[in-house]
Copies of this chain bind each other. A is one copy, B any other.
Amino acid sequence: MKVSIQVRLKNGILDPQGKTVNNALHHLGFKNIQNVRIGKLIEFDIREADKKKASVIIEDACKKLLSNPVIEDFSYVLGED
């Protein structure tokens, strides 16, 4: 089963990388783009046909390794294989 995880900085957490990209875009003339935030996209295959069981594993992996729960939130989508 394909899994796509999106990890975002929580609201209110400063995002210097996003700020830098925001400035770069403005310098390139993209003045109508604002509030840039950069997150992570983590995709993998999971050998688990049961969606419920897969979800448990994914959330466990997110909490233990893939995200920093103090400053980040995650969401995920389970796809077809």
Contacts and interface: CB of A to CB of B under 8 A. Distances in A.
B42 A36 contact: yes
A32 B61 contact: no
A59 B35 CA distance: 18
A37 B33 contact: no
Interface residues of A, number: 32
Given A8-B41, A32-B46, 12 more contacts: A6-B41, A21-B42, A24-B65, A32-B57, A35-B44, A36-B43, A37-B43, A37-B44, A38-B41, A38-B43, A39-B41, A39-B42
Interface of A: 6-8, 21-22, 24-25, 28, 30, 32-48, 57, 60-61, 64-66
